[in-house]
Each structure stands twice: as structure tokens, then as C-alpha cells.
Chain A
Amino acid sequence: QQQVRQSPQSLTVWEGETAILNCSYEDSTFDYFPWYWQFPRESPALLIAIRPVSNKKEDGRFTIFFNKREKKLSLHITDSQPGDSATYFCAASASSGSWQLIFGSGTQLTVMP
């Protein structure tokens, strides 16, 4: 059972465009949603995270939009750069009960110069 789903599996955009990566989840108790990015031959690292006290979290060119009613969130990368090319993982966990961080299968982003 896949509790965290990501789409698309892969995405290619041109430099300067906005990349939109989607994530949905099933468990309504999830209340923490970090995004990790992973460059080829490297380990995942935290990029940005949101707790649903807010519908939006911004950090420079990276913005998370959160829709609690639809159990969906998206990561927008504005003015995409070739250096943003990586695999992006959406994850989710609940602060009560099983805290376990559940990862999606990732979106592989390629930014063409």
C-alpha cells in the first residue's frame, strides 16, 4: 500500500521555467511533510518542509503549496536552474502514533540549459 504518491515520475523543464512536482497522501493523521532532494551518487538531504498550520511554505525559489482537504501538496521551483536537476522525494509523518517517515517514490527532475 503506497501511502505517499508522487507524480510525475520524471519531469523535464527548460532553464528559467517553473517546475511543479506533485504529492498526495492517504493518512489524515500525517502532519509533517518534508521534501528531500537527492543528486546522483549522493544521499538525500532535506530541502524544505511544511507543517499544516499553514498552506504555504516558501524558501527562495522553492515553495510548498498544501491542500489539507484534498490531501495534496506540491513543490514549485521557480526560475529552474540546471543545478536543480535531482530526484525529489516527498515524505510524510504523524506526530502522534507511528511517527515513521513515509517516503514517496520520487520525481526525477531534469532542467535543460
Chain B
Amino acid sequence: GGIITQTPKFLIGQEGQKLTLKCQQNFNHDTMYWYRQDSGKGLRLIYYSITENDLQKGDLSEGYDASREKKSSFSLTVTSAQKNEMAVFLCASSISTQDTQYFGPGTRLLVL
């Protein structure tokens, strides 16, 4: 078994602020993902990484940057927070893109 840790759990930011979310996994999985979940909607892929130092854009990458510093960690940066933005950012990992994805507990973002 393993676990995915996301920090912080809650993030309150100001409009225009640069905000960074962090994710750590101890599954020893190669592939990691960042999804955004808005209330009443499904999950939308922001970025993913198939190995250390790799980065691939998802459908929702505009307005975000990501960094895969090492195999176990994957960071997401909101480059300029939008006023009244409210969403949950979910990190996930899997052995490969064809395997089951395991999700972290999420970071809840609110922009004032």
C-alpha cells in the first residue's frame, strides 16, 4: 500500500497571487497527475508527468505551471489566482497511464 499527501489542505489566496500546491506519494509510482474538480463537475486534467523531470499538458493547463522535482513529488502553481475562484485540486499517481489512478485528499482553494 501507499499514501498520497497534499499540502496545504486549504488555501486562501488573493486575486493575482501566485499559489503553489504540493503533492507527495510513496507508492513509487512513475506517473503523477494534477486534476481540478469544480462543484458538480467531473475531474479535468491540468498537468501530468510520466517520470521525474517530465511534464505534459492536460486540457486545462492554461494559467498553471507544474514541476516534477523527483519521482515522489509533483507541484502545481497557479500563476495568477482569479477572483472568486473556488475549486478542489486533486493529485493522483499510477504505475503508468494505463493503470489505476490513486487520488490524494485534495487541496481546497478559495480566492478572495
Contact = CB atoms under 8 A, between A and B. Distances in A.
Contact of B42 (A32, A93, A103): A103
B100 A46 contact: yes
Contacts of A43: 90, 103-106
Interface string B44-68: 1100000000000011000000000
B111 to A, nearest CB: 21
Nearest to B59: A100
A48 to B, nearest CB: 11
Contact of A101 (B41, B101, B105): B101
Interface residues of B, number: 18
Given A43-B90, A46-B101, A100-B59, A106 B42 contact: yes
A105 interface: yes
A87 to B, nearest CB: 9
Interface of B: 40-45, 58-59, 90, 97-98, 100-106
A95 interface: yes
Q: Is the interface of B mostly helix, strand, loop or mixed?
A: loop
Interface residues of A, number: 20
Contacts of B42: 4, 89, 91, 103-106
A106 B40 CA distance: 8
A7 to B, nearest CB: 13
- Nearest 4 pairs of A and B residues by beta carbon: A103-B42, A43-B103, A99-B97, A103-B43
A71 to B, nearest CB: 18
Interface in A22-53: 32, 34, 42-46, 49
